[in-house]
Amino acid sequence: MKQIRFMFAMLLMATTLAFTACSSDDDDDSDVRDQAVGNYSGTTSIYVENEGKLVSFASELAELGEALGITFNESDFQVKGTATVSKTDGNKLIVKEDGSDGDQWVLNNIREASNGFIFDVESTTVNEVNFTNYSAYHLEGETKSYGGGYTSANKKLEFYIYTTMEEFMDAALKEANVSDEEIEGLAALLAAAGYTEEDAEEDAKQKVVVEFTLTKK
C-alpha cells in the first residue's frame, strides 16, 4: 500500500517543484554571488537514491509498472520552468518561483571555487514536506560532493535536496485527496504481483532526491 502512495506522490509532487521567474542583472566582481543574480530557465528532475546512486523514477518503477500495466517515462518526473536568483543577507542566495506565494530555496555557505562557487541548501518545508541539503554536486577533478554549485563559464546553477519517501508520499496523498478505496484496489494488484509489506517498509525509507538544473538567460 505504501508503494501505491508513492506512485501517486511522484506524479503529483513533480508538478509542485517547478520554478518560475523575474529579476535583476547587476554585476559587481567584489561579491562572488553577483554573477549568479538574474533570470533562469531550467528543469527539476526527481530521483530515488538506490544503494548510494541516484536512479530515475522511470527506471525505478519499470518492473512495478509492468506488473500494473503502467508505463513510466523519464519526462513524467521532470518539470521545466523559470526562476529568479537574488542576493540576501548572510552570504546567501535565494532561488524563488514567480508569484506572491511562490516557493523558494535558500543557498547558503557560499564559497568561491575554481570554476565559480559552491554552496549548501538550507532545510525548508514545501507543501508540508521537509527538504534537506543533499550532497551530489562535484567539482571537476574532485571526489568531494556539495549541495550545489554555479559554473561561471556556462552560467549554470545546479543544486540538490532530499526528503524521505514516506513523508513525500503522505503529503502528496493529503493534497490529492486519494480515497482509501483507490489505494486498497491498487494495493491488491501489488500484492498479486508479489509486493510485500516488507518491501513497502524498505521503500518508505528511501530518499527522494530533487535536482535543479538552471541556466541563466
Query: What is the spatial distance between Cα 136 and Cα 183, in angstroms, rounded to a whole number?
Result: 34
Report the percentage of the chain scoring pLDDT > 90: 46
Query: What is the spatial distance between Cα 19 and Cα 40, in angstroms, rounded to a whole number?
Result: 9
Non-local (6+) Cβ contacts of 73 within 8 A are: 58
Q: Which residue has the higher pLDDT, 89 or 20?
A: 89
E strands along the chain, which residues?
38-50, 53-56, 78-88, 92-96, 104-113, 116-121, 124-126, 129-133, 137-138, 145-146, 148-151, 156-164, 207-216
What's the predicted TM-score (pTM) here? 0.80
pLDDT single digits (tens) 37-60: 999 999 999 999 988 899 987 787
SS3 label, residue 60:
helix
Query: What is the spatial distance between Cα 161 and Cα 205, in angstroms, rounded to a whole number?
Result: 16
Q: What is the DSSP letter of 141?
A: T
pLDDT single digits (tens) 52-98: 899 987 787 776 677 667 777 888 888 888 999 999 999 999 999 76
Determine the average pLDDT of the residues in 139-165.
93
CA dihedral 71→49→213→118, nearest 10 degrees, is 180
